[in-house]
Amino acid sequence: MTDCLFCKIVAGEIPSTKVFEDEVSYAFRDINPQAPVHVLIVPKEHIASCAELTEANEALVGKIFTNIAKIAKAEGLDKGFRVISNSGDDAGQTVHHLHYHILGGKSMGEGLVP
Ligand code: AMP
Ligand code: ZN
């Protein structure tokens, strides 16, 4: 997609701090971190949100979650971490390219929604 922030980050047209990359996904540090570790992982192909996923994306999503485990380990999140994917307006999604937030490095308690 031509006018998508995260497509531009994947293409290297907008700078980012890379954390991990493989053939299908790219992970980088969130520009406005909400925790000591705040990494975003996105598919390289443009998918708008979780709501757009189909069976055709199952291998991709599986790979992304395996990569999340690798990233959490590399970031030293042995005490735990949280994975969040905002999908659509009610969830407050601001960038309409599927992404998973990986948050950790502090105790976040049990509540899911502030
Ligand atoms: P969401 O609200 O779930 O759509 O999350 C979008 C996330 O993208 C927010 O946490 C932003 O801080 C982050 N973000 C926006 N622009 C950039 C950027 N240029 N580089 C890294 N992260 C960004
Ligand atoms: Zn995109």
Active site residue 99: yes
14-71 confidence digits (pLDDT tens): 999 999 999 999 999 999 999 999 999 999 999 999 999 999 999 999 999 999 999 9
Q: Sheet containing 18-21: which strands, arranged edge to edge?
A: 18-21, 25-29, 37-43, 100-104, 81-84
Atom of ligand 1 nearest to the CA of 34: 10
- Locate 5 and state its tokens: 């922030």
With the most atoms of ligand 1 within 8 angstroms of its CB, the residue from 8, 16, 31 to mutate is 31
Which residue is catalytic, options 46, 96, 97, 99?
99
Q: Is the pLDDT of residue 1 over 70?
A: no
With the most atoms of ligand 1 within 8 angstroms of its CB, the residue from 7, 32, 83 to mutate is 32
Among protein residues, the one whose CA lies closest to atom 16 of ligand 1: 31
- Locate 100 and state its tokens: 């998973």
Which residues have C-beta within 8 Å of that of residue 6, sequence separation ≥ 6? 40, 42, 95, 97, 99
